[in-house]
């Protein structure tokens, strides 16, 4: 049902169901991880009205005690989320949550390992939970923002000349033999280009 991708590593799908509504995954060498992607595999959705709370269990560098942190939520409407965890490894003492009350996941021989937990809960309960700050998905790159702004400017400029063919010919002195592109075609291109840009900012390189 769930899968986890630590940036730069292979996808992990070996989550263990430790309780009826709770799943657990071991994460090795978390000290070298910056981003984690949690997503649904598509094999089975959440029951209607339910979603998943995503937790990260980080050992204390002083005594090795577990500390469950609420990263965020996933749902049928939002089946994948990117979390930034690089800032949590050394400062995770303030906003903690309980995922498993009797967890002793860490041993002294694994000081840099962590665990990720997913708890299936009512969406009404998830909406009342506040994730720890600083783990939201990274914003779009400057290049992506520039490209999208450039396309919007081009579209708005071209759309400002939209008028019936007869008006174009009379007001701008255009020849009746010239070819014209319907504004609907330009609008379709803009929507498709924006969708591709959001899926992959580097799609134009292929």
What are the pLDDT digits (tens) for 110-168? 667 888 999 999 999 999 988 887 676 555 555 666 666 667 777 676 677 666 666 65
Mean pLDDT rounded to a whole number for the chain: 76
Identify whether residues 32 and 118 lie together within a single domain.
Answer: yes
- Cα 45 to its chain centre, rounded Å, is 18
Identify whether residues 42 and 111 lie together within a single domain.
Answer: yes
Identify whether residues 102 and 155 lie together within a single domain.
Answer: no
- The answer to whether residue 132 sits within a structural domain is no
d(CA 26, CA 12): 9
Phi then psi for residue 27, to 5 deg, are -120, 115
Taken in order 166, 167, 171, 174, the sign of the CA dihedral is negative
Residue 40 or residue 159, greater confidence: 40
* pLDDT range class, residue 58, cuts 50, 70, 90: confident
- The answer to whether residue 46 sits within a structural domain is yes
- The answer to whether residue 158 sits within a structural domain is yes
Decide if pLDDT at 193 tops 90.
Answer: no
**Domain end: 100, 126, 152, which one?**
126
Identify whether residues 67 and 158 lie together within a single domain.
Answer: no
Looking at the chain, list the stretches that DSSP marks H as alpha helix, in order from N- to C-terminal side. 123-126, 142-159, 165-172, 183-199
Q: What is the pTM of this model?
A: 0.61
- The answer to whether residue 136 sits within a structural domain is no
- Residue 19 β-bridge partners: 22
Please state the domain count of the chain.
2
Identify whether residues 10 and 85 lie together within a single domain.
Answer: yes
- The answer to whether residue 131 sits within a structural domain is no
- The answer to whether residue 135 sits within a structural domain is no
Residue 23, both tokens: 């799943």
Identify whether residues 43 and 111 lie together within a single domain.
Answer: yes
Decide if pLDDT at 96 tops 80.
Answer: no
Identify whether residues 167 and 115 lie together within a single domain.
Answer: no
* pLDDT range class, residue 108, cuts 50, 70, 90: very low
pLDDT at 122: 95
pLDDT at 66: 65
Which residue range(s) make up the domain with 180?
A: 142-205
pLDDT at 10: 84
């Amino acid at each position: 049902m769930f899968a986890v991708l630590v940036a730069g590593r292979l996808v992990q799908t070996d989550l263990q169901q430790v309780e009826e509504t709770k799943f657990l995954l071991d994460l090795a060498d978390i000290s070298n991880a910056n981003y984690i992607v949690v997503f649904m595999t598509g094999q089975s959705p959440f029951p209607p009205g339910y979603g998943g709370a995503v937790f990260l269990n980080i050992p204390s560098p002083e005594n090795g005690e577990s500390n469950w942190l609420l990263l965020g939520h996933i749902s049928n409407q939002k089946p994948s989320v990117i979390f930034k965890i690089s800032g949590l490894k050394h400062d995770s003492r303030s906003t903690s949550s309980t995922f498993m009350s009797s967890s002793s996941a860490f041993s002294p021989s694994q000081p840099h390992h962590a665990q990720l937990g997913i708890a299936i809960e009512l969406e009404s309960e998830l909406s009342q939970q506040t994730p720890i700050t600083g783990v939201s998905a990274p914003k779009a790159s400057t290049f992506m923002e520039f490209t999208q702004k450039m396309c919007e400017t081009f579209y708005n400029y071209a759309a400002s000349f939209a008028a019936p063919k007869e008006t174009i010919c009379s007001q701008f002195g255009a020849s009746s033999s010239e070819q014209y592109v319907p504004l609907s075609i330009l609008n379709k291109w803009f929507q498709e280009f924006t969708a591709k840009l959001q899926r992959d900012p580097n799609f134009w390189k292929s």
